[in-house]
């Protein structure tokens, strides 16, 4: 809990700023600060709050939660959806709640249930989503979101493209860096050895 406290505090502050409309006129701040902070808040809460039994039954293999998280992320990166938030208070509340609970909390609960292939596919889709929206923000010849300057939109596009590349590198670092791969295998062997020792002691 102490390690999560700063993240939760930051997420609560960003949620309050989001509710006040602080990020309405900047795609750059919305994509680089607001969305990540709200998702991290939900992820941190997922490690504290208990998971309901009915949600576990509806989320076999983590597929439902991961699919919902991907769809909600895509929805709130669409400029017209962000415009809708500016004129409708209910949509603003829905955006904050869905990013915290639907994306952040949903990912935290679903990730341990998903297999390696499902996780890899989700990584690719998340990076691809950021890259697609980043390219659109960067190269489109008009402003996509009301109240946002063209320079801010292009900056948001650059940030999303950089985040997509960094995310892919981070997710595949153990394959890129041989030392990280060896260390990961060593830790797995230690964990398996510890588990076998516990089983033998229990016998």
* Chain mean position to CA 141: 28
Low-confidence ranges of the chain (pLDDT < 70): 1-3, 52-56, 175, 178-203
Structure tokens at 190: 């230690």
Question: Do 195 and 111 lie in a common domain?
Answer: no
- Supply the pLDDT for residue 129: 95
pTM equals 0.81
Query: Considering the domain boundaries, does residue 133 fall inside one?
Result: no
- Supply the pLDDT for residue 120: 92
Question: Do 111 and 19 lie in a common domain?
Answer: yes
Domain housing 81: 5-121
- Supply the pLDDT for residue 69: 95
Final residue belonging to a domain, choices 57, 90, 121: 121
Question: Do 183 and 107 lie in a common domain?
Answer: no
Residues 6+ apart with CB under 8 A from 161: 130, 131, 134, 135, 138
| Separation of alpha carbons 17 and 12, rounded Å | 9
What total number of domains does the chain contain?
2
- Supply the pLDDT for residue 191: 47
Question: Do 85 and 184 lie in a common domain?
Answer: no
- Supply the pLDDT for residue 135: 95
Contact predicate 70/125, CB 8 Å: yes
- Supply the pLDDT for residue 98: 96
- Supply the pLDDT for residue 179: 65
């Amino acid at each position: 809990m102490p390690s999560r406290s700063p993240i939760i505090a930051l997420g609560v502050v960003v949620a309050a700023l989001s509710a006040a409309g602080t990020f309405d006129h900047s795609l750059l701040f919305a994509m680089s600060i607001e969305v990540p902070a709200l998702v991290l808040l939900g992820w941190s809460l997922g490690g504290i709050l208990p998971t309901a039994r009915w949600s576990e039954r509806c989320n076999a293999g983590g597929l439902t939660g991961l699919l919902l998280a991907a769809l909600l992320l895509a929805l709130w990166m669409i400029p017209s959806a962000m415009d809708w938030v500016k004129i409708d208070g209910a949509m603003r509340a829905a955006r904050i709640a869905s990013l915290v609970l639907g994306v952040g909390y949903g990912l935290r609960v679903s990730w341990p249930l998903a297999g390696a292939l499902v996780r890899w596919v989700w990584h690719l889709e998340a990076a691809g989503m950021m890259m697609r929206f980043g390219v659109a923000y960067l190269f489109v010849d008009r402003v996509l979101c009301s109240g946002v300057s063209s320079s801010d939109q292009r900056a948001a596009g650059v940030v999303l493209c950089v985040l997509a590349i960094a995310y892919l590198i981070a997710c595949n670092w153990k394959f890129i860096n041989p030392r990280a791969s060896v260390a990961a295998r060593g830790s797995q062997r230690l964990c398996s050895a510890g588990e076998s020792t516990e089983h033998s002691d229990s016998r």
